[in-house]
């Protein structure tokens, strides 16, 4: 008898069918994808472990049930998809909104096909689902980040150009006031022009804060001390019908930030909280050390993990909807009635925190108040000591006789600066860009005591001009000016130690005073 003959096909099927079933069952059990089957009425007939992990219902809870995993507003969509499957269509929906057993939202990608008997009749539906909630959340955060970056670039550019105009408005109105006699009836009109310029300058400063293009002067700070020093001012600001309390960690670590800007953050958040409680309430300012984990940083692309200090401002106000929170930090977005706000308060907070290397988020819900949480990187350094008070500023700086080289591409600003400086006794060599300034320096046989240059100019930046002109005149003093700080001479908007800088818009007094200060400092060093 030949025992090596091949086994007949029926014998092979009888042996392989149980093995195939076991393999299929194992695949379904171990699949990272949710595999679910339904009867034509939507009753669950199969529910694998991945479905339990993703949706939260156990197999015992799911089998034989019509699970409420479809939000009410998506019911019609769900029924239409089920009809398509029962008609024999095989299809994939890349993004559907569902909900878990605990009611939380979930986003899934679904591939659906009909289940058929051997004769071809359809007896159910099979869906294979992938949880893409995290992916969609990251995509949305990236879109928001890119949007904020684009708006920030636009805001910074607008503020830069606007500051040049405001420099002329503030500067020439200041010159007029100096020239008009006290009895002149025109003084009142010029004062109003200057006040309007000052208000406009404040708006541009807020835009620069949002776009992270302002000048910061960071110091090692104790946030507890900052909050305590602001107590009296904040109580006046919030009013008698609002309770202001603090919860400050006694062993708080230090941060490195601009103290004036941090105070601005606290003021803006306190005002925002006050406006959210027209009938009164409570504001709580708290501090604590915090550790941002790699997992948290992975979920928030702009965050660096590690030790931080938390500053939080909480209120008991009316709270905010998800829609409001989605636009909260955008410039000019406001929920206040027309004329009651500019929409720049929280945008300013966002920009200051970002430029300080920190992270801000908000926890809020309608009628449940709001809590703003600000995380600033922790530093291991002693707190900076009290700063030496600046010498009193004279209303009219003493005149000078030195020779100055002025490099400014905006003609109206250049003309104003020349008039102010010439009026204060200086000899002014005037250039419309960096190349012209270099040629003037080469052609001038006498001494040049100071270069006053714009930071951002076409053809040659202020930094490049400084580097090249110092090859000719190594002892030349430098004073930078700019409507914003987007230049390598100012690292990420933080001015380098020892570099004199004048922010536009400036008044005639501010320019004359700063020039005199830099020149006098040079004499002291010599």
Q: Each residue's pLDDT tens digit in the chain (526 positions)?
A: 444 444 344 444 444 556 767 787 788 888 889 999 999 998 999 999 999 999 999 999 999 988 889 888 888 998 999 999 999 999 999 999 999 998 888 999 999 999 999 889 999 999 999 998 888 877 776 666 666 666 666 666 666 677 777 888 888 888 888 888 888 888 888 888 888 877 777 666 655 555 445 556 678 889 999 999 888 888 888 888 889 999 999 999 999 988 878 888 888 888 888 888 888 899 999 999 999 888 888 777 778 889 999 999 999 988 888 777 777 777 666 665 554 555 567 777 887 888 788 888 888 888 888 899 999 999 987 766 544 333 333 445 567 789 999 999 888 889 889 988 988 899 999 999 999 999 999 999 999 999 999 887 888 888 889 999 999 899 999 998 877 544 434 543 445 556 788 887 788 888 988 999 899 885 554 4
Q: Residue 479 and residue 407: Cα distance in Å, rounded? A: 11
Tell me what pLDDT residue 389 has. Answer: 35
Give the pairing type, strands 477-482 and 450-454: parallel
* Whole-angstrom distance, CA of residue 479 vs CA of residue 459: 19
pLDDT of 384 reads 63
Picking from 434, 324, 317, the residue whose alpha carbon sits closest to that of residue 368 is 317
For 222: left if phi > 0, alpha if psi spans -120 to 50, otherwise beta; the answer is beta
d(CA 200, CA 204) in angstroms, rounded, equals: 6
Q: What is the CATH number of domain 25-131?
A: 3.30.450.20
Give the three-class secondary structure for 358: coil
Indicate the angle between helix axes 462-472 and 434-443, nearest 10 degrees.
10
Question: What sign does the dihedral 40-44-45-48 (CA atoms) show?
Answer: positive
Q: Where does 220-379 sit in CATH, by number?
A: 3.30.565.10
CA–CA separation, 219 vs 259, rounded Å? Answer: 7
29 Cβ neighbours under 8 A, 6+ residues apart: 48, 49
Question: Nearest-CA neighbor of 301 among 354, 366, 256?
Answer: 354
- Proportion of the chain in helix, strand, coil states, percent, rounded to 5: 45, 25, 35
β 359-364/403-407 pair status: unpaired
Tell me which residue has tokens 């607008």: 158
Q: Nearest to residue 493, comparing CAs of 245, 211, 246, 291?
A: 211
Domain covering 137-210: architecture: Orthogonal Bundle (1.10)
**pTM, 2 dp:** 0.50
* Residue 370 burial (10 A CB sphere; 0-12, 13-18, 19+): buried
CB neighbour list of residue 254: distance below 8 Å, 6 or more residues apart: 220, 221, 222, 309, 378, 379, 380, 381, 382, 383
H helix or E strand, kind and range, residue 80: helix 75-86
The pLDDT, as a whole number, for residue 278 is 85
Q: Which one, of 482, 526, 476, 521, lies nearest residue 504 by Cα?
A: 482
Q: What pLDDT does 149 receive?
A: 65
Residue-level pLDDT at 204: 67
Instruction: Give the separation between CA 262 and CA 246, rounded to whole angstroms.
Output: 16
How far is Cα 405 from Cα 407, in angstroms, rounded to an integer?
7
DSSP state at residue 122: E
Domain ranges of the chain: 25-131, 137-210, 220-379, 403-525
What's the pLDDT at 429? Answer: 94
Largest CA distance in the chain: 134
* Residues present in the chain in total: 526
- Assess contact for 435 and 459: CB atoms under 8 A: yes
Separation of alpha carbons 363 and 290, rounded Å? 17
- What integer pLDDT is reported at residue 439 of this predicted model? 92
Specify the CATH number of the domain 403-525: 3.40.50.2300
- Tokens representing 1 are 């008898």
* Residue (of 418, 439, 438, 443) closest to 430 by Cα position: 418
Q: Any bridge partners for residue 502, and if so which?
A: 481
Residue 397: predicted pLDDT = 56
Q: How many CA atoms lie within 13 Å of 387's alpha carbon, on the beta-carbon side?
A: 9
Name the residue among 354, 156, 330, 332 with its Cα closest to residue 261.
Answer: 354
Q: Could you tell me the end-to-end alpha-carbon distance of the chain, in angstroms, rounded to an integer?
A: 116
Name the 3-class secondary structure at 248.
Answer: strand
Question: What is the CB-side half-sphere exposure of residue 311 using CA atoms within 13 A?
Answer: 27
């Amino acid at each position: 008898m030949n025992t090596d003959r091949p086994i007949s096909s029926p014998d092979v099927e009888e042996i392989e069918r149980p093995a195939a079933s076991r393999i299929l069952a194992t695949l379904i059990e171990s699949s990272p994808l949710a595999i679910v089957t339904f009867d034509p009425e939507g009753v669950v007939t199969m529910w694998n472990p991945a479905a339990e992990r993703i949706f939260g219902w156990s197999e015992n809870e799911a089998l034989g049930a019509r699970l409420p995993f479809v939000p009410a507003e998506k019911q019609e969509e769900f029924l239409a998809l089920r009809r398509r499957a029962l008609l024999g269509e095989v299809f994939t929906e890349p993004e559907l909104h569902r909900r878990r057993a605990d009611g939380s939202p979930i986003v899934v990608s679904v591939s659906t096909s009909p289940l058929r008997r051997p004769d071809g009749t359809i007896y159910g539906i099979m869906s294979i689902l992938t949880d893409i909630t995290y992916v969609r959340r990251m995509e949305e955060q990236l879109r928001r980040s890119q949007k904020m970056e684009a708006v920030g670039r636009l805001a910074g550019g607008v503020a830069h150009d606007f500051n040049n105009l405001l420099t002329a408005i503030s500067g020439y109105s200041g010159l007029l006031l100096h020239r008009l006699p006290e009895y002149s009836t025109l003084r009142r009109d010029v004062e109003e022009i200057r006040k309007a310029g000052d208000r406009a300058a404040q708006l541009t400063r807020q835009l620069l804060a949002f776009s992270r293009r302002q000048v910061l002067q960071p110091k090692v700070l104790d946030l507890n001390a900052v909050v305590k020093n602001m107590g009296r001012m904040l109580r006046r600001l919030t009013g008698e019908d609002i309770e202001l309390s603090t919860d400050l960690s006694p062993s708080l670590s230090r941060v490195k930030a601009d103290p004036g800007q941090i105070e601005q953050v606290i003021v803006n958040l306190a005002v925002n909280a006050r406006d959210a409680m027209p009938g009164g309430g409570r504001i709580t300012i708290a501090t604590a050390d915090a550790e941002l984990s790699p997992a948290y940083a992975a979920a928030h692309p702009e965050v660096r993990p590690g030790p931080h200090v938390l500053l939080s401002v909480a209120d008991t106000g009316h709270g905010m909807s998800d829609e409001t929170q989605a636009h909260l930090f955008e410039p000019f977005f406001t929920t206040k009635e027309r004329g009651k706000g500019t929409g720049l308060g929280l945008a300013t907070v966002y920009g200051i925190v970002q430029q300080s290397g920190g992270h801000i988020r908000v926890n809020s819900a309608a009628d449940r108040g709001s809590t703003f949480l600000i995380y600033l990187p922790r530093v291991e350094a002693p707190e900076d000591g009290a700063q030496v008070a600046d010498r009193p500023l004279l209303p009219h700086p003493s005149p000078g006789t030195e020779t100055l080289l002025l490099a400014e591409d905006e003609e109206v600003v250049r003309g104003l600066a020349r008039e102010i400086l010439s009026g204060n006794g200086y000899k002014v060599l005037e250039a419309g860009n960096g190349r012209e300034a270099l040629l003037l320096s080469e052609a001038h046989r006498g001494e040049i005591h100071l270069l006053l240059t714009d930071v951002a100019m076409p053809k040659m930046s202020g930094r490049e001009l400084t580097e090249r002109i110092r090859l000719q005149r190594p002892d030349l003093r430098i004073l930078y000016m700019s409507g914003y700080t987007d230049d390598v001479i100012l690292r990420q908007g933080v001015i380098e130690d020892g570099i004199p800088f004048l922010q536009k818009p400036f008044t005639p007094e501010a320019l004359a005073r700063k020039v005199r200060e830099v020149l006098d400092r040079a004499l002291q060093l010599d």
